[in-house]
Amino acid sequence: MKHELGAKIVGTGRAVPENTLTNEDLEKMVDTSDEWIRERTGMKVRHIAEPGVDTSDLATRAAENAMAAAGVTATEIDVIILATITADVQFPSTACYVQQKIGAVNAAAFDIAAACSGFIYGLQLANSMFLSGKYKNILVIGAEVLSRITDYTDRNTCVLFGDGAGAVLLQPTDGQSGIIDTYIKSDGRLSHLLIMPGGGTRNPATYETIDQRMNYIKMEGREVFKSAVTAMGDAATHILKENGLTGKDIQLLITHQANNRIIEATARRVKISKDKVYSNVEHYGNTSAASIPIALDEAIRDGRLKRGDKCMLVAFGGGFTWGSAIVQM
Ligand code: ACO
């Protein structure tokens, strides 16, 4: 194995809004069908945050559940890293709102934006921070309220996205379990294929940019699909090879939950059998940075991941960004 075991996951949590949006609901909103959505994506239901519920609210609930699972109190948290592309406001960072809401008065808190790969980027960052020896408890959260940047008049995108949050609490490894390795990559040349063009310095919010619907997700679905399949396959292959492992050594593959066809293609590339592939895309749609930590929490709480198991995480998203991690439970 290339790396020493790094930080260890000591608790996980998730939070998903109760309100749902089904394929049948979408049939009434745009020209689509339950059959088309299920065949192309595997999705049936997404969860949608109620008005007044912000990304930080979902992130806070997920973080509190992770802390409760670990038996760690808010004042013990040293760092909060929040991966999101749907921040409560442009600034300050949503992580600071989470800090305030959970009462983590001793923490440093900041956001990272790596779209659907954000959670893997956060894991890599947190893992590296532990190497400094300065930190004992780091929360890594992926949280999104994508429904607020989804254009419900655009059938190409509006069927895909949902809201939710997942969190992990990390501590220094005990040498038995921990993050074996992480891998992250980007290609900014393809940034235009998946973008929310409005609201930043390029196209600040004006009547014009709002009229042009620039404050919503724009996506070239077919191009994103092709890149996602290639990059996620590469990320999975790379990290296995770097660590002298094969698909057979992995007990559970959790990829970013974008689409069942992408998930299956990634598993095939590294020869991981279907029974070792986690999918909940049917129940949540694509929740971007939140999808992997939500799935991880479910898999741990449902007993799909047991102590000693190796779990591989793989993601791809806007940027483009992609990455992978192998965690020994
Ligand atoms: N309902 C019905 N028809 C639709 C819908 C819809 N919701 N959306 C598009 N169509 C139509 C298109 O207009 C097109 O019609 P045409 O042939 O008459 O032009 C036809 O369906 C086929 O469209 P494609 O885009 O080629 O369909 P594809 O098989 O590629 O599936 C999808 C589309 C599901 C978006 C796919 O490209 C995909 O999953 N891409 C990845 C997108 C993604 O996951 N992005 C999220 C961020 S990145 C990530 O998370 C990995």
Is 3 a known active-site residue? no
Is 256 a known active-site residue? yes
Q: What is the pLDDT of residues 199-225, one digit of tens each?
A: 999 999 999 999 999 999 999 999 999
Question: Can you give the pLDDT at residue 224?
Answer: 96
* CATH tag, 7-175: 3.40.47.10
pTM: 0.96
Q: Where in the chain is the domain with CATH 3.40.47.10?
A: 7-175, 180-328
User: How many residues appear in the chain?
Assistant: 329
Say which of 116, 127, 260, 311 is annotated catalytic: 116
Homologous superfamily, domain 180-328: Thiolase/Chalcone synthase (3.40.47.10)
Tell me the pLDDT of the chain averaged across its residues.
96
Under a CB-based contact definition with an 8 Å cutoff, are residues 69 and 137 in contact?
no
Question: Can you give the pLDDT at residue 157?
Answer: 97
CA gyration radius for the chain? 19
Residue bearing the bigger pLDDT, 2 or 264: 264
Phi-psi region of 103 (alpha: psi -120 to 50; beta: other; left: phi over 0): left
Is 286 a known active-site residue? yes
Residues 6+ apart with CB under 8 A from 25: none
How far is residue 131 CA from its own chain's centroid? 24
Check pocket membership of 155 for ligand 1, CB cut-off 6 A. Answer: yes
For residue 185, pLDDT over 90 is answered with yes
Q: What is the pLDDT of residues 76-100, one digit of tens each?
A: 999 999 999 999 999 999 999 999 9
Check pocket membership of 286 for ligand 1, CB cut-off 6 A. Answer: yes
Check pocket membership of 222 for ligand 1, CB cut-off 6 A. Answer: yes
At residue 3 the predicted structure's pLDDT band, cuts being 50, 70 and 90, is low
CA of 89 to the centre of ligand 1 (A): 30
Rounded to 5°, the CA angle 263-269-271 comes to 100
CA of 221 to the centre of ligand 1 (A): 5
Structure tokens at 271: 């020869």
Question: Can you give the pLDDT at residue 4?
Answer: 62
Helix, strand, coil percentages (3-state) for the chain, rounded to 5, are 40, 25, 35
